[in-house]
Structure 1
Amino acid sequence: MRTRFTEMFGVRHPVVQGGMMWVGRAELVAAVAEAGALGFLTALTQPTPGDLAKEIERTRRLTDAPFGVNLTILPSISPPPYEEYRKVIIDAGIKIVETAGANPVDHLPHFEDAGVKVIHKCTSVRHALEAERIGVDAVSIDGFECAGHPGEDDVPGLVLIPAATRRLSIPVIASGGIADARGLVAALALGADGINMGTRFMCTVEAPVAQEVKERIVANSELDTRLIFRTLRNTARVAANTVSAEVVDIEAGGCEFADIAHLVAGARGRRVFEDGDLDAGIWTAGQSQGLIEDIPTCAALVRRIIGEAEAIIRDRLAGAIEEGVRV
C-alpha cells in the first residue's frame, strides 16, 4: 500500500505512531519500526538532551528500520532547552522529526540543513496552511476525537481531513479517532496519505505503560473521555477518571489554572503509566478507545490493519462498484 507518505519517508506502511509523553520510548518505537510503520520517540519524555541521545542509541540497538523523534514546543516560563534537544536529534543522524505545539519556524532551517524531514501536527486547516507555507514536509491533522489537545474549533476528522487535503499540496496524515483498518481506508478516501494512531499504539504489548492502563482502554467505550481546560481555551481530551471529573467540576464554577494545577501535574500522570494507579492523575486517551478490543503486539496490529484495509478496498469497495451492490 504505497502513498506519497510512504515514498517520502521511506516506510513500508502508511501508519504512524505519533509522539506521546511518557510513552514514546525505545521499546515501542522500535517495535513499530520493525512492523514497517513509523514510530516517534518523544524528546521531552527524556529529562535531558543527553538522555535523549541515549534513548536514540537504545532504539537503534533494537531496530535498523527508520524512526523519528517528536519535539513538542510549548510556551513556558522556564522552557526546556529546545535548541539542545534539536542538536542531539541532528547530531544523532535522525532524518524524521515530528513537531507539535507552537510554530516550528525557528527550528526548520536547522533541520533542513541537516536533511531532516519534518511533519508538523495541526488541529486546523489554517494552521496546516501556515505549516506548509513555512516549509514543513508534511502535516498531521488532528480531528476533535484525538487524545491530547484537539484545538478549540471542535471539528471532527470526517470534515477536517478533507477540508485540509483539498487545500494542501504536501502529504497529510490523518489523526484522531483512528484505530483500525476502517480508519485507514476512510482516511485514504478523504485524501490523506496515511494515519497517525496514539491511543491504539498505547494499547499494545510493547507500549511501556502499566498493564492496568491497557486493560482500561480495552474496557472503555468512546464515551469514556473528558474535555478539560475548556474554560482556559487550552482544551485537552483525557481519560475519564476521578481526577478529570474533579477538574471539570472545578472549571464549571470558574477557575484559574492555579486552582487545578495540583490535579493536572505531569508527575501525577506519569504515575498512572508507571504504577497502574488509574486515578493518580490525568492521562490522555482518545475516543478511539471505543474501537479497541485487544492488546496485540505492534507487528500483529500493523499486519492486521494493512491486511484488512486491503480486503476492504478489494472486496467491499471494488466489488460494490463492479457488481452495483449497495454498500
Structure 2
Amino acid sequence: MPDGVLAPARLRTRLTDLLDIEHPVVQGGMMWVGRAELAAAVSEAGALGIVTALTQPTPGDLAREIERTRRLTDKPFGVNLTILPTITPPPYDEYRRVIVDCGVTIVETAGSSPEPHMEFFAGHGVRIIHKCTSVRHAVKAERLGVAAVSIDGFECAGHPGEDDVPGLVLIPAAADVLTVPIVASGGFGDGRGLAAALVLGADGINMGTRFLCSTEAPVADAVKQRIVEAAELDTRLIFRELRNTARVARNSVSDEVVGILADGGTFPDVQQLVSGARGRRVFEDGDLEAGIWSVGLSQALVRDIAPARHIVERIVREAHATITRAAALYAGGPEA
C-alpha cells in the first residue's frame, strides 16, 4: 500500500464470514466480462471475484479459466451460472461438473430457479448465492437451501424483473423475512451505497457497473470512458412489452429496439439488433453503437477508471466514514 494511504477498516458481516473474505463486496457475474483477470483482481483486493461460466464457450474452456484465475490468486472466488430459457440450452450439467471438479465452492446463480442444481451442488459442499428481483423469489430460494440471496433492485443493469421495485424498498423488505445473508444488488457504486445497504439490512453489496470500469475489466477503453461520462438518464429499458425487461446503455441500437417494440413489433423484429455477438463487439472493439450492452444506473456514480484494489479499498473507507458520521449525528457528537 502506498505511503500515507491507510488500509481500509474491516467491515465484518455475515457475508464476509460465510465466504471467508475481508470486505462485504461481490463482483457481479457479467457476461463477456467475468474473466480471470478481473475476478482475481477483485479477490486479491479482499472482495469476492466472480468468473462467468457462460462467457466460456465450452465447459472445458471454463475449466481452463478457473485454473487461470487460481494462478492469479489464492483467495476465494466464485463462478456465476446464469440459468435462462433458450431454444438450445447450454450443457448446464457439464458446467456444473467442471465447477465442482475444479474445486470451486461458491456459485452465484441467476435467472431461473436454482432448484434443478441444488442437490448436486449441495452434495459437493458448494455454497449458492442466488440472485432474485423480488422478495417472493428470495423467500423461495431460501426454502430451497441457498446459502445467501442477492436481491437485485430496479436500478440494476441487465434484467431487473417486472415489478419495478427499487433497492430502497426491496432490500429492507427482503431483510424483514429472510434469515440467510443478503447481498444488495443494483445501484451500488461507492461507499455511501455500501453503508446504506448495511443499514437497510443487507450483509454486503454486489457491483457490476463499477467493476466494469476497473482497470482489469477485459473491455475496450471506449466503453469505460463512456461510463465515466454518462449520467443516470443514459440507460434504456428494452423488452418491456415482452415481459423480459433489460436495462442497457442508451445508444442508437437500444433506441431502435424500444421504438420497434412500442410500435407493436415482436421479438423476431429485433432479434438481429440484440444478438449477443453484437453486444460482445461493443466490449471487445469499443464500438459503442455495434449492439446493446448492459449498464446500470450506478454509472452516474462512476467517475474514474481505477484498479479493482483501489475501488474496493476506497468503497470500504467511504462506507466506514459514512457510518461514523451517521453515528456522530445520532449521538449529537462533534460532527453533528
TM over 0.5: yes
Gaps of 5+ in 2: 1-10
State the Cα distance separating 1:43 from its structure 2 match.
0.2
Distance 2:117 2:187 in 1: 29
In 2, Cα distance between the equivalents of 1:289 and 1:144?
14
The SS at the match of 2:241 is coil
One of 22, 26, 45 as aligned partner of 1:16: 26
Distance, in Å, in 2 between the alignment partners of 1:211 and 1:324 is 45
The alpha carbon displacement at 1:324 in A equals 6.2
- 1:133 aligns to what? 143
Residues 1:323 and 1:116: Cα distance change in structure 2 (over 3 Å): same
SS at match of 2:242: coil
Question: Aligned to 1:21, what secondary structure does the other structure show?
Answer: coil
Q: Distance in 2 between matches of 1:18 and 1:108?
A: 21
Residue 152 of structure 2 is matched in structure 1 by 142
Shift of 1:227: 0.2
**After superposition, where does 1:159-170 map in structure 2 within 5 Å?**
159-170=169-180
Superposed displacement of residue 263, structure 1: 0.2
Q: Which runs of 5+ in 1 are unaligned?
A: none
| Residue pair 2:328, 2:335 contacting (<8 A) in 1 also | no
- Matched with 2:194 is 184
1:256 match: 266
Alignment partner of 1:322 out of 324, 331, 335: 331
Output the CA distance in 2 between the equivalents of 1:260 and 1:322: 56
1:325 positional shift: 8.2
- The residue correspondences of 1:1-327 to structure 2 (distance < 5 A) are 1-314=11-324, 316-323=325-332
How many residue pairs get matched? 326
Q: Could you tell me how far 1:326 is from its partner in structure 2?
A: 9.5
The 3-state SS of whatever aligns with 1:70 is strand
C-alpha deviations, 1:198-252, integer Å up to 9, x for none? 0000000000000000000000000000000000000000000000000001011
* Cα gap change, 1:155 to 1:326, in 2 (>3 Å): farther
What is the CA–CA distance in structure 2 between the aligned matches of 1:142 and 1:325, rounded to whole Å?
37
What is the one-letter code of the residue matched to 2:32? Answer: W
Residue 312 of structure 1 aligns to a residue in which SS? helix
AA aligned to 1:197 is: M
User: 1:311: Cα distance to partner?
Assistant: 1.3
* Percent identical residues: 69
8 A Cα contact 2:155 2:187, kept in partner: yes
TM-score norm. by structure 2 comes to 0.96
Supply the AA of the counterpart residue of 2:141: A
**Other structure's SS at 1:231 match:** helix
User: What is the one-letter code of the residue matched to 1:311?
Assistant: A
The question of whether the paired residues in 1 share the 8 Å contact of 2:150 and 2:183 is answered with: yes
Cα drift, residue 156 of structure 1: 0.4
**Structure 1 runs of 4+ off > 3 angstroms?**
324-327
Letter in 2 for 1:28: L
Structure 1 residue 188: deviation in Å? 0.3
2:49 aligns to what SS in structure 1? strand
Where 2:272 maps in the other structure, the secondary structure is helix
State the TM-score, normalized to the length of structure 1.
0.98
Amino acid at match of 1:236: A
Deviation at 1:323, TM superposition (A): 1.6
Shift of 1:312: 1.4
CA distances 1:134-159 after superposition (whole Å, capped 9, x unpaired)? 11110100000000000000000000
